[in-house]
Structure 1
Amino acid sequence: MSAASVLARGRRAAERLMVDTCTIRRRTGETTGPGGVVEATYDVLYTGPCRVQQQAPSASPQDAGEDYALMLALTVQLPMSVTGLRTEDEITIDTSAHDPDLPGRVFVVKDLAHKSHATARRVGVVERS
């Protein structure tokens, strides 16, 4: 059995666990609409299966000025065919098979990971407030 065939089998298994769907988009600029309202413009990079995972069972407290926030270490797993992602790309969870609290949540890509024998593209994210 070759490394390539084992990797292909691992990728198929990882994708079977991606029972949620998401849309990834990148901000491309802004336009001015009626009344002078400035709105961001986006390109859609990907729409399809994904999986949301929490890296650690607890959140870490962060102080931002006088505000207090809990930062969760989250990862969105994507098929390896999803390429070209950048930090600050936006991931919106469209559907979730098992967590009714996930759809509609918007995450921002903060960490990208690359490796030769990955079974899924794992992207570190934080939730957009």
Structure 2
Amino acid sequence: MLEVALARGRAMAERLMVDACTIQRVTGEGSDDDGNVVKTYEQLYAGRCRVQQRSGQAAQEDVGQDFQLMLRLEVHLPMSVVGLEAGDEMTVIASAHDPDLAGRTFLVRDLAHKSHATARRVGVTERTS
């Protein structure tokens, strides 16, 4: 009974995932022909997602003497997405209802785990300044 309800909940949650994203992890660094540092990546996921904003206000973070505004959001992914780590990069490649989301890149910050989740909810941040 529980498995049936959980499967229905997950299917319903995935129907709400109308955006598309990729998630990748930095695996190293190299340099291009001009000597510029170039990061290398491993793609972890490409598929459906749903972007939700936790709060409408960016938080101030001071990194050394650099003032940055960090916007916190939550991304919902299918439960089949596993192995994510803080620091992974998520890029929205398409959004059904918010064209301003496409092309935005976020850093995975918070991972959530629970027994009866209908979606993998991942906290991400975007540097806004």
Quote the Cα distance in structure 2 between the aligned partners of 1:114 and 1:24. Answer: 18
Q: How many residues align?
A: 128
Aligned-residue identity in percent: 61
Over aligned residue pairs, what C-alpha RMSD do you find?
1.6
Give SS of 2:26's match. Answer: strand
Unmatched runs of 5 consecutive residues or more in structure 1 = none
- Map of 2:102 onto structure 1: 103
Quote the Cα distance in structure 1 between the aligned partners of 2:56 and 2:79. Answer: 26
- Map of 1:119 onto structure 2: 118
- Map of 1:51 onto structure 2: 50
Deviations 1:64-115 (A, max 9, x none): 5555443322001100000000010000000000001100000000110000
Shifted more, 84-93 versus 71-80: the winner is 71-80
Deviations 1:37-82 (A, max 9, x none): 2210001111000000011233334445555443322001100000
Check whether the contact 2:70–2:127 (CA below 8 A) recurs between aligned residues.
Answer: no
Stretches of 4+ moved more than 6 A in 1?
none
Give SS of 2:114's match. Answer: coil
Quote the Cα distance in structure 2 between the aligned partners of 1:62 and 1:128. Answer: 10
Deviations 1:18-50 (A, max 9, x none): 000001000000122213222100011110000
The 3 A distance-change label for structure 1 pair 33 and 78 is same
Letter in 2 for 1:16: R
- Map of 1:80 onto structure 2: 79
Alignment of 1:8 onto 2:10: no
Give SS of 2:34's match. Answer: helix
Give SS of 1:10's match. Answer: helix
Shifted more, 81-90 versus 29-38: the winner is 29-38
TM norm structure 1: 0.90
Letter in 1 for 2:101: L
Unmatched runs of 5 consecutive residues or more in structure 2 = none
Quote the Cα distance in structure 2 between the aligned partners of 1:3 and 1:59. Answer: 39
